[in-house]
């Protein structure tokens, strides 16, 4: 009898109720509708200004003529890419871009982390907020304003910096035309404008650290420096890794406006990067297909580096960006 019951149970297993996934999805979307509404402008921005223009990458494989349009222009294959890699200026531009990127990565990137850690240790709230405000303000200035202020301070005729140098008994330095000063001037301006803004993310990450960890460490006799090293930094390590991956993806994307404003005939040899090169050959000389090929190359390199950096982060036990 017992065997017959077991056979009957095996023949008629209890089937779980079917879940209507479509209805469940609609329910979740309606439940979180305000969140989706908030991210809608961002989605539209990226779709309109980032994805739709990708259609124009076709002209990098054409001898594009504006009066013929994309569909009417002659197809030339990889001719423009061959020209790019055989151009005598390519390796110089590539080297300049990598050097400026290295300055951003190894000098600028750690500074917001350091500032955030230092501000987190400040106990006088009024002083802390005052410092935060002062270092945030430059971010809201355009690069035109930042570079203009730098020019006024560094010029040979009446510049504050050269005035101090001369007062100390030294010869004036032509910061604006000397190629050796282009890169230090570039990275100092980046730090001045962006370091304070970058601390916002790290301060937010630090604020999410469990205060009980600090209390336990304090009871064990840990100093503030030890708590910073063994609690704060490990707690924000995931945020640092994600931002580092995104930074690596911008290896050839340093920003046109800043570098273009610093360029002149004397420092072009060390200051020309892909962004300014695209502007010069694409818009000023009307070589649209060639400049599009240069931009396509930049995008491919950035994508590859992001994938590699994300893979390495996952291998190291971090979450990565996807």
The residue among 190, 223, 196 whose CA lies nearest residue 128 is: 196
Residue 213 lies in a domain: yes
Residue 74 lies in a domain: no
The residue among 179, 181, 161 whose CA lies nearest residue 171 is: 161
Q: Which domain holds residue 269?
A: 81-315
Residue 167 lies in a domain: yes
- Asked if 316 and 303 count as a contact pair (C-beta separation under 8 A), the reply is no
Name the band, by pLDDT with cuts 50, 70 and 90, for residue 313: confident
Q: How far is the C-alpha of 63 from the C-alpha of 79, rounded, in Å? A: 9
Residue 145 lies in a domain: yes
User: Percentage of the chain surpassing pLDDT 70?
Assistant: 94
Token representation of residue 77: 């294959």
pLDDT in tens, 185-238: 999 999 999 998 889 889 989 988 888 988 898 888 888 888 988 899 988 988
- The 8 Å CB, 24+ separation contacts for 296-300 are 296/57, 296/60, 297/81, 297/84, 297/252, 298/252, 298/253, 298/274
Residue 37 lies in a domain: no
Residue 55 lies in a domain: no
**What is the model's pLDDT at position 110?**
93
Secondary structure element (H or E) that encloses residue 62, with its range: strand 62-63
The residue among 34, 247, 258, 295 whose CA lies nearest residue 145 is: 258
The residue among 15, 33, 37, 35 whose CA lies nearest residue 25 is: 33
Residue 159 lies in a domain: yes
Q: What is the CATH number of the domain that holds 170?
A: 1.10.3720.10
The number of distinct structural domains making up the chain is: 1
Which pTM value belongs to this model? 0.81
Q: How far is the C-alpha of 150 from the C-alpha of 138, rounded, in Å? A: 13
Map residue 75 onto helix, strand or coil.
strand
Name the band, by pLDDT with cuts 50, 70 and 90, for residue 19: low
Residue 69 lies in a domain: no
């Amino acid at each position: 009898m017992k065997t017959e019951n077991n056979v009957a149970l095996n023949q008629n297993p209890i089937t779980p109720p079917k879940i209507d996934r479509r209805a469940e999805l609609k329910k979740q979307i309606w439940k979180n509708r305000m969140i989706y509404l908030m991210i809608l402008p961002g989605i539209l921005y990226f779709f309109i200004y980032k994805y739709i223009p990708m259609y124009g990458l076709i002209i990098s494989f054409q001898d594009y003529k504006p009066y013929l349009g994309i569909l009417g222009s002659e197809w030339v294959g990889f001719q423009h890419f061959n020209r790019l890699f055989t151009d005598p200026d390519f390796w110089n531009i590539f080297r300049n871009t990598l050097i400026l990127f290295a300055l951003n990565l190894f000098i600028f990137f750690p500074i917001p982390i350091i500032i955030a850690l230092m501000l987190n240790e400040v106990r006088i709230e009024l002083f802390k907020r005052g410092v935060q405000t002062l270092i945030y303000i430059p971010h809201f200035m355009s690069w035109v304003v930042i570079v203009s202020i730098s020019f006024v301070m560094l010029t040979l005729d009446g510049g504050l910096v050269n005035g101090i140098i001369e007062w100390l008994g030294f010869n004036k330095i032509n910061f604006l035309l000397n190629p050796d000063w282009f890169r230090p001037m570039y990275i100092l301006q980046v730090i001045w404008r962006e370091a304070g803004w970058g601390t916002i993310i790290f301060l937010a990450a630090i604020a999410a650290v469990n205060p009980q960890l600090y209390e336990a460490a304090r009871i064990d006799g840990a100093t503030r420096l030890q708590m910073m090293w063994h609690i704060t930094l490990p707690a924000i390590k995931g945020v640092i890794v994600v931002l580092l991956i995104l930074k690596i993806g911008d290896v050839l994307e340093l920003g046109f406006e800043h570098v273009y404003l610093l360029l002149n005939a004397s420092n072009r040899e060390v200051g020309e990067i892909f962004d300014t090169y695209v502007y010069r050959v694409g818009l000023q000389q009307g070589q649209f297909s060639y400049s599009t090929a240069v931009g396509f190359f930049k995008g491919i390199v950035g994508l590859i580096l992001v994938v590699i950096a994300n893979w390495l982060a996952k291998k190291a036990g971090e979450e990565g960006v996807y």
